Structures are given as C-alpha cells and as structure tokens.
A and B are shown apart, each in its own frame.
Chain A
Amino acid sequence: MRRLVRAALLGSAIFLAAFPGWAVQPDEVLEDATLEERARDISAGLRCPVCQNESIDESSADIARDLRLLVRERLVEGDSDTEVVDYIVARYGEYVLLSPNFDGANRVLWILPLVLLGAGIGLSVVYIRGRASAPAPAEAGLSADEQARLDAILDNDRAD
C-alpha cells in the first residue's frame, strides 16, 4: 500500500516545474489534519539540502518534496516527531537541522547568549553604581573658547 501511494505521488511529480514558492503540493497533504500540522511543523525545522537557506516546507526543489513525503510517511507509520527528525538526520546529516542540537561544541552557541547577557548585566551594574556614587565633577571643565563654541551650538537647546 505504501509503495502504491508513493508511486502515485512520484507519478504526479513529473508535471512539476520548479516554480519558486510552491512547496507543499495538494497531493502531499495528509487527510489527518493533526498529522498534517505536525508534518508542517517538522518540515519548517528541516533545511532543504540543496537550497540557499530554505526549509523543506518552503522549497520547491525535488529533494525537498521527497523529504516532505518521507516526513509524512514516517508520521503515518506512527513515529513521534523526534523519531522522524532523527530518521532524517541519520540519512542527511545534521546539516538539515535548522535548530542545531545542544551537543559538543554547539553548547557554546546556545549558552553564549546567556553568558553575554550575564556579563553585560554585570558590567552595566558596575558602571551604573560607579556613576551613582561618583563625586560631582569639577565645573571648570571648559576653556572660555570652548564654552563660547558650545554655547553657539547648544543655543536653543534649553527648551528640552
């Protein structure tokens, strides 16, 4: 049965020209709306291997269609979302994952934003506390010449 479905799907593929923006074809859509929605979600997270940064959900390339069919096939077989993704990654490599796994060196990618944010907050707090406790600056900061120039520029700013 599965093979039959597949043959029918491939048969209709002959008529397909690669028009951009035409990803999910009507004949791919699953009857079961919940399964189809899961298929779309999974597809949006998988990269088309031959495209420039398009997910298989957006790409009109042949391989993207094959992958979409594969995703749906696995879902119909009863795989969980993770199993489907693992299945595809096992065959096409981690390159197809648009959201990289949290493992090995990739941990840096995922943790660095938090580290940067933490460091930034730390620096900001130190800076702000420093400014809050700093003594008021000496007022004689400008020479007469500079003061005149500044006055010319700041002329109408007192409104603020």
Chain B
Amino acid sequence: MIVELGHFALILAFAVAIFQMVVPMAGAWAGNRGWMATADPAASAQFVLTAFSFAALTYAFVTSDFSLSLVVANSHTDKPLLYKITGVWGNHEGSLLLWVLILTLFGACASWFGKNLPPTLRARVLAVQSAVAVAFFAFILFTSNPFLRLASPPFDGQDLNPLLQDPGLAFHPPFLYLGYVGLSMAFSFAVAALIEGRVDAAWGRWVRPWTLAAWVFLTIGIGLGSWWAYYELGWGGFWFWDPVENASFMPWLISAALLHSAIVVEKRESLKSWTILLAILAFGFSLIGTFIVRSGVLTSVHAFANDPERGVFILMILAVFMGGALLLFALRAGTMEAKGVFGIVSRESGLVFNNLILAVSTFVVFIGTIWPLIADLFFDRTLSVGPPFFDAAFTPFVFALSVALPIAAMMPWKRATIAKPMRALIPAAVLALAVGLLTWAMWTGQSAIGPIGVSLSVWLVAGAATDLWSRTGRGPIGGRLGRLTRLPRADWGKSIAHAGVGITMFGVVTLTGYQIEDIRVAREGEAYQVGAYEIELLGVDENVQGPNYLSTMASVAVRDPETGAEISLLNPERRIYPVAGMPTTEAGINNGVTRDVYVTLGDPQVGGGWALRVWIKPFANWIWGGTIIMALGGFLSLSDRRYRVAAGAAKAPVAGVPAE
C-alpha cells in the first residue's frame, strides 16, 4: 500500500512539474503576477511529493518487501540496516529517484530563499528548473520505474554488491548527486537570464553560492569515492582515470572555473557571457556524467547497443537541454555587454587564466574519456585511453595552475603589477624551493615530478597563508593577528580552499612517487623488514563468520625494527559474500600522518605460508585531508555574511566592525 502511494506521489510530482514548467514561464512572458506566483507552491509540492515517494521506497527496502523487483535485486534480509537504507540508491532506479529528490529540493530552496529575486527572473528560474525535473521524472517513470511489483515474490533477495556495503561508498552517491544537481541551479539561472536578456552583479551574486555549494558537494563526493577505492579495492589506488570517475571530475573542474568567473561577474561585471556559457556547460557535463554512468556506453559499446533505451533517453535529455540552452546563448549572448575595464595585469586577468586552464583541462579529460568511443565509431579502431595518457596530458595543467595561483590570488582588481605580490611571496617561494631541493636530495635517482610537485604544493600552501596575512594590512603583529580573526569568512574560505589544493597535491605526489611495496610469501613467525618497519605474519584464521559473509583473517604485526615495539596489529581479510557470490579483499591499514602501512592477504601457498603484500604509503591521508580542507574552505565562503544578507536571512543592517 505504501509502495503504491509512493508510486502515485511520483506520478503526481511529474504532473506538478509539468505545470510548474509551463505556467510561471507563461506568466513571466505575459506579465501575469498570479501565474508567476504559482511557481512557489508548485516547487514545494514537487519536493514534498518526491520526498514521500523516496520515503516509500526506503520503507520497502527497510522492511525487505520482496514483492518489489528492485528490492529483490539489491537487498537481502541478513543485510545490516544501514546498507538496507543505502541500498535504496545503490542501484540505477533508486539512484535516479535520489537525483530527482535532490533536484526538487534545490528547486524548493530557490523558492524558499529566493524571495528578493526579481519576480520574472524567479519565475523563469523555477520554470527552467522544473523543466529539468520533468525530463527526469519521465525518464524514471517510463524507463526506470523503481516501484515495479513482481507477480510471485521470492523468499529472499539477491543482496547488494558487497563492494557497495561500505560507509565510504554508501554516502558517495548522495554527495555526488548534490553536486551534479546543484549545478542545475546555475543552469536554470543562466537560461533564465538569457531569456530575460540581462546579467548583472546581482545575478552573479545569486549564482555563485549555488555553484559553490555544488562544488563543495562534488569535492566531498569525489573525495569519498577516492578514499573508498583506496581502502576497499585492495591495492591502495586512489584515482584510476576511469570513465566513471572522469564523469564526476569534469563537472568538478568546470564548476571550479564557474565559481571563479562568477566572482568577476559579481565584482566587476565582466566575463558575463563566458560565465553564462560555463554555467550551461557545467550542467551539461553533469548530464554527460549521468549518461556515462547510467548507460554503460563507455565500459562497453556493445552493452549499450543491446539495451539502448535508457542511454538514448538520457542522450535526448542532454540534446534538448544543451542544444536549447546553447542556441539561446548564441542568440542572446551578444546583448550582454561587459562593463568593467581592467588592465592586462590584474586579478581579472588572473581569473581569466584560471578559467582558461580549468576549462581546457576539462576538455582534455573529456576528449580522453570519449576517444575510445570516437575511435570505434568513426575509425573502426578498438583502443583504450588510460592513466598514462591522462597523467601526461593533465599534469602540465595542474602545474601551470599551481605556479600562477598564489600570485594571481594576491593581485588587486583592475590594475596590478606582478612585482608587488611577488615581493610578498618571496618567503613562500624560498620555502617551496628549499623543500623541493630537500625532497630531491632525499630521494635521488627518482623522476623529477616528485620534487617539482612537492615544491609546488608547498608554494600553494605558503602562498595561501601569505595571501591571508597580507589582508591584515600593516602595523604591529598583535594588531594584524587581531584583524586576521575579523577578516570576512570569504577571505578565510579562499585561502583555506587554495591551501587544500596544495595539501591534496602533496599527498598525491608523494604517494605516487615514493611508496614502497613488498610482495612475498610470508611464513608464520618469520619477521622481515619493509621500509622502516618490521612485518610478521602471526597467524591466519580461515573460519571467521561475519553477519553476511565468511572471512579468512590474518594477524600481521607491524613493529619498529630497532626496539621491537609493536606499532600496530593488522587484520587483513579475504571475504566471500555467499549470497552475491562475490569475493572481496579487505586491507589491513595502519593510518598515520606521515605514512600508511597497508597490508593485504593473498593465497595460501603450496609449500606453506601465505602471499602477503605490504605497502608503505607516504602521506596518503593528506590526499583526502586536502579534499576535506577544500570543502571546508568552500563552506566558510558560503557562510560569509554577504550571502546570508543576499539570501534575505537578515534584512536589518548587521552590527559589527567592518573588516578593514
């Protein structure tokens, strides 16, 4: 019964979405305030109905309602409750329902918090947002309905893929979707502005928080996915340039470009048409990402050809929205005149450089991702484009961006000199060079990428600190420290996010450049040394019973070879999930600030002993530490007072000391 109500609510939400797509838009056209005003209750209703529908599906998963074919395919009565809930979005249909839930949530937020937007712009934004929702409701109801019943329900389900039964991955999709879908707001604002025919500072101010929020969520989502891959897939890889990963990385890169170019629109009223184009493309890449993941077209062209219905549907959504928006852009972009005048050396130019690098690198990732498809369709060549290509093609962009970032971030608007920020940055540059040389000296004979990368990451972090410090003006240290605490949160957010980039880069460079690996047959009681650690296999228990799996669990001691003191006792496992019939490898990891000791258990060997693989992974956690710091910087910027004011949360003048 609840399931049927959920199904019904979804259909009703579809109908409301169609209404909201048409009536407010017509109202804005005709200047009819009553019609425009219908967008608000409609947006709320859409969200409430979709939320109910999602709750109904969750209920079916939690109560293991095996009359639903989706629950049968993705759940099992023995599964822990957490994974029954996360199983709701651990599959195609459920994840799309989550997608529209978030889409309608953003639409409702625009209605709730957008009271001070001009009424026509607001009506148009909500109508465009609803048009996106219409497409996805139709997609769900016509090709991927999660509420389909089975005529003869089985006694139990087929279980969720055991790799997905993990906290890291359980919350990876919701964050990614918050990011993907958050970019739909930027898209709706861009299209609405094109229809209105005007883009001003207020528009830039409105689009930026949405983009920033989307970018923060994407950062967290990508970080979670990477962290999961690191500890769950069993060899400590954290990024594979897989099409599915690239699908989330492209929107991340281009939304980073967008949130920087929107600053120029907001503060200087320049780069308007470019920002609009980026907003359209950012959501376009989100749709492309959805297409790549949901159609399976890139993992196997043939799988796509066998079951093209869903893929073709998303491709049509992509064609309609991108085609329509870009056509509108071509017709209207010329009317948006830039106002701000700026010198060749200025912060504006710095942000143009930022956009250039981020946009071109996005397209490089895009070309690499779809090249196998193009080669197959047009040149009849079956080939692969993998990590070696992306490493070679992408790394130069990262380096170029890192070199310029601290300098550009400190340049003033309008007219600047390079010399002034460079003088302030001399200590940062010296520190970066020194650490780079030290790295080079410690690990001679390795590739040059390591020391350069380390040096650049120090440059980024020290540059961010310099930037923040320079905002405190002149005078005695005490006064500057006091002013530091009173700087706007946006300033803190900017520096923290930029430092986060450096920290992640440091982790990536040291981990890829300097990890130590050891593969051998380990015998119980025979200690051996890997890097600066002593490893000993203490024993293997072959019959460990988990809640829904069987496990072979080893005990491995990690010791200090000098003193013999135990640092950690690790339990790498090999699990078999009988219901899904899938084996998994659970690594034993001793996390540390400067290194992880990462141990996986292999097969029992013919002459006794077990295969054991041990890595010392330097600064591994800095990769995800940096992503958290980036996200934190984004949140801080987002909580800056001017947004709360802009959002209408505080109408009265805020009391307090001005920042400068």
Do the beta carbons of B356 and A121 come within 8 Å of each other? yes
Q: How far is the CB of A151 from chain B (nearest CB, A)?
A: 10
The segment out of B232-240, B314-322, B629-637 that lies at the interface is B232-240
Do the beta carbons of A98 and B385 come within 8 Å of each other? yes
Please measure, in the bound complex, the distance between the C-alpha atom of A153 and the C-alpha atom of B356, giving whole angstroms. 30
Q: How far is the CB of A100 from chain B (nearest CB, A)?
A: 5
Do the beta carbons of B602 and A26 come within 8 Å of each other? yes
Closest A residue, CB atoms, query B487: A159
Please measure, in the bound complex, the distance between the C-alpha atom of A149 and the C-alpha atom of B658, giving whole angstroms. 22
Do the beta carbons of B388 and A99 come within 8 Å of each other? yes
Give 1 or 0 for each of B347-363: 1 = CB within 8 Å of chain A CB.
01100110010011001
Confirm or deny: B201 has a beta carbon within 8 angstroms of a beta carbon on chain A: yes
Known A124-B352, A127-B352: A21·B587 in contact at CB below 8 Å: yes
| Interchain CB contact (< 8 A) of B348 among A24, A113, A131, A146 | A131
Do the beta carbons of B371 and A124 come within 8 Å of each other? no
Residues of B within 8 A of A112 (CB): 364, 367
Q: How far is the CB of B511 from chain A (nearest CB, A)?
A: 15
The segment out of B335-343, B421-429, B557-565 that lies at the interface is B335-343
Closest B residue, CB atoms, query A127: B352
Q: How far is the CB of A105 from chain B (nearest CB, A)?
A: 4
Do the beta carbons of A25 and B602 come within 8 Å of each other? yes
Confirm or deny: A90 has a beta carbon within 8 angstroms of a beta carbon on chain B: no
Residues of A within 8 A of B67 (CB): none
Known A106-B375, A132-B343: A16·B603 in contact at CB below 8 Å: yes
Q: How far is the CB of A129 from chain B (nearest CB, A)?
A: 7
Residues of A within 8 A of B338 (CB): 131, 134
Give how many B residues have a beta carbon under 8 Å from the other chain's beta carbons: 77
Do the beta carbons of A155 and B653 come within 8 Å of each other? yes
Do the beta carbons of B583 and A52 come within 8 Å of each other? no
| Interchain CB contact (< 8 A) of A159 among B360, B363, B392, B658 | B658
Please measure, in the bound complex, the distance between the C-alpha atom of A83 and the C-alpha atom of B235, giving whole angstroms. 28
Kindly identify, within residues 107 to 150 of chain A, every residue whose CB is under 8 Å from any CB belonging to chain B: 109-110, 112-113, 116-117, 120-121, 124, 127-129, 131-132, 134-137, 141, 146, 149-150
Q: How far is the CB of B80 from chain A (nearest CB, A)?
A: 21
Q: Which of A25, A47, A54, A156 has the largest number of chain B CB atoms within 10 A?
A: A156
Q: How far is the CB of A144 from chain B (nearest CB, A)?
A: 15
Q: How far is the CB of B466 from chain A (nearest CB, A)?
A: 19
Closest B residue, CB atoms, query A109: B371
Do the beta carbons of A19 and B356 come within 8 Å of each other? no
Residues of B within 8 A of A129 (CB): 344
| Interchain CB contact (< 8 A) of B382 among A22, A93, A141, A158 | A93
Please measure, in the bound complex, the distance between the C-alpha atom of A160 and the C-alpha atom of B116, giving whole angstroms. 22
| Interchain CB contact (< 8 A) of B521 among A26, A95, A104 | A26
| Interchain CB contact (< 8 A) of A20 among B384, B521, B585 | B585
Please measure, in the bound complex, the distance between the C-alpha atom of A146 and the C-alpha atom of B198, giving whole angstroms. 12
Known A20-B584, A99-B392: A137·B360 in contact at CB below 8 Å: no
Please measure, in the bound complex, the distance between the C-alpha atom of A99 and the C-alpha atom of B241, giving whole angstroms. 12
Do the beta carbons of A45 and B352 come within 8 Å of each other? no
Do the beta carbons of A95 and B382 come within 8 Å of each other? yes
Q: How large is the interface on A (under 10, 10 to 19, 20 to 34, 35 or more residues)?
A: 35 or more
Confirm or deny: A29 has a beta carbon within 8 angstroms of a beta carbon on chain B: yes
Closest B residue, CB atoms, query A134: B341
Confirm or deny: A1 has a beta carbon within 8 angstroms of a beta carbon on chain B: no
Residues of B within 8 A of A149 (CB): 116, 118, 202
The segment out of B7-15, B165-173, B604-612 that lies at the interface is B604-612
Do the beta carbons of B341 and A137 come within 8 Å of each other? yes
Kindly identify, within residues 577 to 602 of chain B, every residue whose CB is under 8 Å from any CB belonging to chain A: 583-585, 587, 600, 602
Please measure, in the bound complex, the distance between the C-alpha atom of A93 and the C-alpha atom of B359, giving whole angstroms. 33
Known A21-B234, A113-B393, A120-B360: A29·B519 in contact at CB below 8 Å: yes
Closest B residue, CB atoms, query A18: B583
Do the beta carbons of B352 and A128 come within 8 Å of each other? yes
Do the beta carbons of A117 and B360 come within 8 Å of each other? yes
Confirm or deny: A97 has a beta carbon within 8 angstroms of a beta carbon on chain B: yes
Confirm or deny: B488 has a beta carbon within 8 angstroms of a beta carbon on chain A: yes
Do the beta carbons of A98 and B611 come within 8 Å of each other? no
Known A100-B371, A104-B379, A156-B645: A20·B360 in contact at CB below 8 Å: no
Q: How far is the CB of B120 from chain A (nearest CB, A)?
A: 13
Confirm or deny: B524 has a beta carbon within 8 angstroms of a beta carbon on chain A: no
Residues of A within 8 A of B603 (CB): 15-17, 19, 22, 25
Do the beta carbons of B234 and A22 come within 8 Å of each other? yes
Known A25-B611, A121-B356: A53·B342 in contact at CB below 8 Å: no
Do the beta carbons of A97 and B202 come within 8 Å of each other? no
Please measure, in the bound complex, the distance between the C-alpha atom of A54 and the C-alpha atom of B241, giving whole angstroms. 10
Do the beta carbons of A53 and B363 come within 8 Å of each other? no
Residues of B within 8 A of A12 (CB): 605-606
Known A98-B384, A128-B344: A58·B235 in contact at CB below 8 Å: yes
Do the beta carbons of B234 and A20 come within 8 Å of each other? yes
Confirm or deny: A23 has a beta carbon within 8 angstroms of a beta carbon on chain B: yes
Confirm or deny: B299 has a beta carbon within 8 angstroms of a beta carbon on chain A: yes
Do the beta carbons of A98 and B387 come within 8 Å of each other? yes
Q: How far is the CB of A91 from chain B (nearest CB, A)?
A: 14
Confirm or deny: A5 has a beta carbon within 8 angstroms of a beta carbon on chain B: no
Do the beta carbons of A98 and B270 come within 8 Å of each other? no
Residues of B within 8 A of A55 (CB): 386-387
Known A99-B392, A109-B368, A157-B642: A124·B585 in contact at CB below 8 Å: no
Confirm or deny: A69 has a beta carbon within 8 angstroms of a beta carbon on chain B: no
Q: Which of B383, B605, B658 has the largest number of chain A CB atoms within 10 A?
A: B383
Do the beta carbons of A109 and B384 come within 8 Å of each other? no
Confirm or deny: B200 has a beta carbon within 8 angstroms of a beta carbon on chain A: yes
Which A residues are within 8 Å of any B CB, using their own CB? 11-12, 15-27, 29, 44-45, 47, 52-55, 58, 93-100, 104-106, 109-110, 112-113, 116-117, 120-121, 124, 127-129, 131-132, 134-137, 141, 146, 149-150, 152-160
Beyond A95-B384, A137-B339: 13 further Cβ-contacts under 8 Å?
A20-B233, A24-B613, A25-B602, A26-B605, A29-B519, A44-B388, A104-B381, A105-B379, A117-B356, A121-B356, A149-B116, A149-B118, A153-B202
Q: Which 4 A-B pairs have the closest CB atoms?
A: A21-B234, A98-B386, A99-B388, A21-B585
CB-defined A-B contacts under 8 Å, sample of 17:
A15-B603, A19-B574, A19-B602, A20-B233, A22-B600, A54-B240, A99-B386, A100-B389, A106-B375, A109-B371, A116-B364, A120-B360, A124-B352, A128-B342, A131-B340, A137-B339, A155-B653
